[in-house]
Structure 1
Amino acid sequence: MAEFIDDSMFGTYFESFERTSWRLETRRGYASDRKSPNWARWQAGEEVGHDTPRPWGVNVQRQTAAGKRFERIRLVDDPPTEGQRFLLARVTNNEAAGEDIRYLWRAEAGKLRLPAVDFWLFDDRYALVLHFDEADEYLGAELVEGPARIAEFRRVRETAWPHAIRRSGFAAQVASRV
């Protein structure tokens, strides 16, 4: 059984890293998204890509202004799930804050032998593995510092990043498949 960090410490990892934070998102949806007010607005056809600054975005702006990088890849099914389409509609908030979010079709991720693990990798030294239950509810984050697992997470990033597609190109691919 994984040993989770204290949730009150979660945000500190995004403030204290030195150079890079990189995430692989593998879930088909997140319960927290479905519970947010933006979910209902999005389902009603409203624009949800531009919000007032939230704490996450404020921190990303502060960190990227200091020369640090926030990057992530989202795996997406074909056709995209409702949760994946929602995140695609919301991504401009994260991009405006300074994140570089890219996309990779799940079939391509399979060919690249990427794991089905959501994680953040910080400075190539430590990681937070995010755990979820079958209903996509967040259970907690496990701190990983072991060299073998960190090397595997670096391999995942180095393998996936060259194949990942920026939002504009990916959104065009999604639209062409509908």
Structure 2
Amino acid sequence: MAEPTLEQQLRSCRRSAVHLEMRDGYMRSDPRFIAWQNGVRDAPEDNDPALRPWLALTAELTGKDVEIRRARIVSEPVSDYIEFEHHVTDANVKAGELVRWLPRRQASDIALPGNDFWLLDDRLVVFHHFDGDGELAPDDETFTDDPATVKLCGSAFEAVWERAVPHEQYRPARRP
């Protein structure tokens, strides 16, 4: 029997889903990112839940009182990909997701796992795996309910969340 997908696991959440992102670039081959690099801002596919399924899923889950929080640890000055992410995150927030940003220099004393992850209902960790260029690795997700791993991820996320700046207040430091 196949492992449930992340989407299926998210749909089974009852209380919370937290996501920690620690890379300065993801899937730079994404057509939305490429369009953004070429000057396209506020394209329908950035803001429309019908064209961006994550927004619809977020609204569905938060409508069932599941709290969704995302924290991003970013290098400053930020990469062009992080500028893009910051730009399109307004739609995430409008859909009900809480998002915060933490400059990497402020995370140096936090014990962090080696990979980005989701922690679902404080019971299941879904690790994401990327190649060196930020593209999804062939075995892009691993799931664990190991109590020590769940505890590490929970404490790491909460430490980052406590220090991070809410999306509405964060202004990415850009290159001169």
Same fold (TM over 0.5): yes
1:104 matches 2:98: no
Alignment check: 8 A CA contact 2:113 2:152 kept: no
- Matched residue, 1:167: 167
With normalisation by structure 1, the TM-score equals 0.86
Q: Which moved more, 1:34-43 or 1:80-89?
A: 34-43
**1:102 is paired with a residue of what secondary structure?**
strand
Question: Quick one: which amino acid aligns to residue 55 of structure 1?
Answer: P
- Matched residue, 1:30: 26
Question: Quick one: which amino acid aligns to residue 22 of structure 2?
Answer: T
Q: CA RMSD in A?
A: 1.9
Counterpart-to-counterpart distance in 2, 1:9 and 1:83: 26
Alignment check: 8 A CA contact 1:38 1:48 kept: no
| Unaligned stretches of 5+ residues in structure 2 | none
Once the two structures are superposed, residues 133-178 of structure 1 have per-residue CA deviations (whole angstroms, 9 ceiling, x without a partner) of 112111211101100111111111221111010123212x536x75
- Matched residue, 2:42: 48
Question: Quick one: which amino acid aligns to residue 59 of structure 1?
Answer: L
Higher helix share: 1
| Unaligned stretches of 5+ residues in structure 1 | none
Counterpart-to-counterpart distance in 2, 1:142 and 1:133: 15
Using the TM superposition, give the Cα deviation of residue 116 of structure 1 relative to its aligned residue in structure 2, in angstroms. 4.0
Question: Quick one: which amino acid aligns to residue 132 of structure 1?
Answer: F
- Matched residue, 2:33: 39
User: Match for 1:67 among 58, 65, 68?
Assistant: 65
With normalisation by structure 2, the TM-score equals 0.87
Aligned residues: 169
**2:41 is paired with a residue of what secondary structure?**
coil
Alignment check: 8 A CA contact 2:47 2:91 kept: yes
- Matched residue, 1:158: 158
Alignment check: 8 A CA contact 1:126 1:143 kept: yes
Counterpart-to-counterpart distance in 2, 1:23 and 1:84: 16
Question: Quick one: which amino acid aligns to residue 13 of structure 1?
Answer: Q
Counterpart-to-counterpart distance in 2, 1:29 and 1:46: 19
Alignment check: 8 A CA contact 2:112 2:152 kept: no
Q: Which moved more, 1:45-54 or 1:118-127?
A: 45-54
**1:169 is paired with a residue of what secondary structure?**
coil
Counterpart-to-counterpart distance in 2, 1:151 and 1:28: 25
